[in-house]
């Protein structure tokens, strides 16, 4: 069986994790701090804080920005449930908009008509690793008409004076837009280092801050460190210093710090990340070549003059098929020992969101792209031979269903 996305666990990872385990300090400590610095250097953002998942990081971030009941946060209908779940947790309303038909990213045109005076945050999602249209997005939120709608409800929001762009970059670590890396494209960028992501720490995430210069990023970092550790004025490591036992709890905070064990994996992965990206790009090219003469194939956009994907997910679409035919093709592919996937079921078709009143008929592009989509395996050690096997298996399976 060709697996879909196995983690890269080799001796190098095992050695670094062992070192962390034996160092005498296994929770947040020097390795986590180093990992944060290396991410800031890599992404060229102003400050990075590591957390235990994208989900917890983004939720704390939204709460820090003052998001709660009465607020609206705009997201695409086509994303993983985490993007919407964290908004629900804060008490705010996820306002879903449709995606572009050409790729799988949020449509800026559709965002425009969804903005109200309750909109405090827009959360673009770089689906599959392809950056969203950030220039168009910033032009939109800085448009005088949109600015005049903005109604801040705290000092931070007032200081920014416009809608915050908090990017869901769970897929796009290493992606580029106008020669800048994901992590420095939005005000805030949240990465996921979950086991199936391009860069993994088993579970984990990071929040990159890139707010305008009026914001003091060192004090934001300190504030966030307190927030993600129960509101304690000192972290566990500084409490172990001589006489350092006494601390205060300045607010009822959250608990979502990254451990040094996770950071040990991340440091190794980050060091060889460019090599990982190169291999992923190569696999994308092989797939593109393999399907280019098939008139039924719509291959995904992974590079434009402005954008370079992080090549996270290869989202193949099959023209003129319905959802049942797509499912049938997937069954054929699995029967031939190849693992594939579907990214994503649009949120309005999931019970939790259907029950809240979201209707898929309002998101025709999300439905169309979903119903004919099959995600192919991409990972560092998927051999060319196996890529060819995936290609021939997909072709055979499509031919057997659409005769």
194 or 280, CB closer to ligand PLP? 194
Dihedral angle of Cα 222, 177, 125, 290, to the nearest 10 degrees? -140
- Among the listed ranges 53-61, 224-232, 243-251, 354-362, the one in contact with ligand PLP (CB under 6 A) is 53-61
Site for ligand PLP (CB under 6 A): which residue of 82, 84, 175, 387? 82
**According to the 3-state scheme, what is the secondary structure of 358-370?**
CCHHHCHHHHHHH
Instruction: Using alpha carbons only, give the angle 65, 200, 12 rounded to the nearest 5 degrees.
Output: 140
CB 55, min distance to ligand PLP, A: 3
Q: How far is it, in rounded angstroms, from Cα 386 to Cα 28?
A: 39
How many residues does this entry show for the chain?
403
Site for ligand PLP (CB under 6 A): which residue of 28, 55, 200, 375? 55
Residue 133 token pair: 């249209």
- Among the listed ranges 61-69, 77-85, 128-136, 390-398, the one in contact with ligand PLP (CB under 6 A) is 77-85
Q: How far is it, in rounded angstroms, from Cα 32 to Cα 19?
A: 14
Q: How far is it, in rounded angstroms, from Cα 271 to Cα 371?
A: 38
Q: Where are the beta strands (DSSP E) in 258-308?
A: 297-298, 307-308
CB 96, min distance to ligand PLP, A: 14
Q: Is 170 in the site for ligand PLP (CB under 6 A)?
A: yes
CB 274, min distance to ligand PLP, A: 22
- Among the listed ranges 67-75, 78-86, 88-96, 112-120, the one in contact with ligand PLP (CB under 6 A) is 78-86
CA distances from 313 to 37, 128, 269, 365 (A): 27, 5, 18, 19
How many binding residues for ligand PLP (CB under 6 A)? 14
83 or 308, CB closer to ligand PLP? 83
82 or 283, CB closer to ligand PLP? 82
CB 170, min distance to ligand PLP, A: 3
Q: How far is it, in rounded angstroms, from Cα 354 to Cα 184?
A: 34
CB 298, min distance to ligand PLP, A: 21
Residue 223: strand, helix, or coil? helix
- Among the listed ranges 166-174, 237-245, 298-306, 324-332, the one in contact with ligand PLP (CB under 6 A) is 166-174
- Among the listed ranges 4-12, 25-33, 79-87, 347-355, the one in contact with ligand PLP (CB under 6 A) is 79-87
Question: Would you tell me how many other CB atoms lie within 10 Å of the CB of residue 360?
Answer: 18
Buried b (16+ CB within 10 A) or exposed e, 120-151: bbbbbbbbbbbbbbbeebbebbeeeebeeebe
Q: How far is it, in rounded angstroms, from Cα 175 to Cα 182?
A: 5
Site for ligand PLP (CB under 6 A): which residue of 95, 125, 315, 330? 125
- Among the listed ranges 30-38, 167-175, 215-223, 315-323, the one in contact with ligand PLP (CB under 6 A) is 167-175
76 or 253, CB closer to ligand PLP? 76
25 or 36, CB closer to ligand PLP? 36
* 175-214 footprint of ligand PLP as x/- string (CB under 6 A): -----------------x-x----------x---------
87 or 329, CB closer to ligand PLP? 87
302 or 393, CB closer to ligand PLP? 302
264 or 286, CB closer to ligand PLP? 264
Q: How far is it, in rounded angstroms, from Cα 57 to Cα 68?
A: 16
105 or 393, CB closer to ligand PLP? 105
Dihedral angle of Cα 308, 310, 314, 317, to the nearest 10 degrees? -40
205 or 290, CB closer to ligand PLP? 205
Q: How far is it, in rounded angstroms, from Cα 57 to Cα 80?
A: 15
- Among the listed ranges 75-83, 281-289, 364-372, 395-403, the one in contact with ligand PLP (CB under 6 A) is 75-83
Residue from 219, 168, 148 nearest 53 by CA: 168
- Among the listed ranges 13-21, 49-57, 66-74, 349-357, the one in contact with ligand PLP (CB under 6 A) is 49-57
Find the helix or strand (DSSP H, E) in which 209 lies: strand 205-209
Find the helix or strand (DSSP H, E) in which 284 lies: helix 273-291
Q: Which residues contact 4 (CB under 8 A, 6 or more apart)?
A: 196, 339, 340, 341, 377
125 or 316, CB closer to ligand PLP? 125
Q: What residues make contact with ligand PLP under the rule CB under 6 A?
A: 53-55, 79-80, 82-83, 125, 168, 170-171, 192, 194, 205
């Amino acid at each position: 069986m060709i697996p879909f996305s196995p983690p890269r666990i080799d001796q190098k990872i095992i050695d670094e994790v062992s070192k962390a385990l034996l160092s005498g300090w296994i929770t947040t400590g020097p390795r986590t701090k180093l990992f944060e610095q290396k991410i800031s250097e890599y992404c060229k953002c102003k400050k990075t804080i590591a957390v235990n998942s994208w989900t917890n990081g983004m939720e704390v971030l939204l709460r820090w920005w003052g998001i709660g009941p009465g607020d609206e946060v705009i997201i695409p209908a086509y994303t993983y449930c985490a993007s919407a779940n964290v908004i629900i947790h804060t008490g705010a309303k996820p306002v879903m908009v449709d995606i572009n038909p050409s790729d799988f990213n949020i449509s800026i045109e559709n965002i425009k008509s969804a903005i109200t005076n309750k909109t405090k945050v827009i959360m673009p999602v770089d689906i599959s690793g392809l950056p969203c249209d950030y220039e168009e997005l910033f032009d939109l939120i800085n448009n005088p008409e949109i600015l005049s709608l903005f109604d801040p409800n705290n000092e931070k929001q007032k200081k920014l004076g416009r809608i915050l762009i908090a990017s869901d970059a769970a897929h796009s670590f290493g992606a580029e837009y106008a020669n800048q890396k994901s992590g420095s494209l939005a005000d805030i960028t949240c990465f996921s280092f979950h086991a199936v992501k391009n860069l993994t720490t088993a579970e984990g995430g990071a929040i990159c801050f890139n707010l305008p210069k009026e914001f003091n990023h060192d004090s934001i970092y300190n504030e966030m460190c307190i927030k993600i550790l129960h509101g304690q004025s000192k972290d566990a490591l500084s409490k172990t210093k001589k006489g350092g036992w006494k601390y205060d709890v300045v607010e009822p905070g959250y608990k979502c710090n990254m451990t040094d064990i996770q950071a040990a994996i991340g440091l190794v992965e980050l060091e060889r990340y460019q090599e990982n990206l190169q291999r992923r790009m190569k696999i994308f090219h092989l797939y593109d070549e393999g399907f280019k003469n098939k008139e039924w194939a719509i291959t995904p956009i992974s590079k434009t003059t402005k954008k370079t994907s992080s090549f996270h997910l290869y989202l193949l679409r099959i023209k003129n098929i319905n959802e049942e035919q797509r499912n049938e093709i997937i069954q054929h592919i699995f029967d031939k020992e190849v693992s594939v996937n579907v990214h994503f079921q649009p949120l309005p078709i999931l019970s939790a969101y259907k029950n809240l009143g979201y209707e898929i008929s309002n998101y025709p592009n999300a439905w169309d792209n979903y119903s004919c989509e099959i995600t192919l395996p991409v990972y560092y050690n998927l051999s060319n031979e196996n890529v060819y096997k995936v290609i021939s298996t997909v072709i055979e399976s499509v031919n057997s269903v659409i005769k």
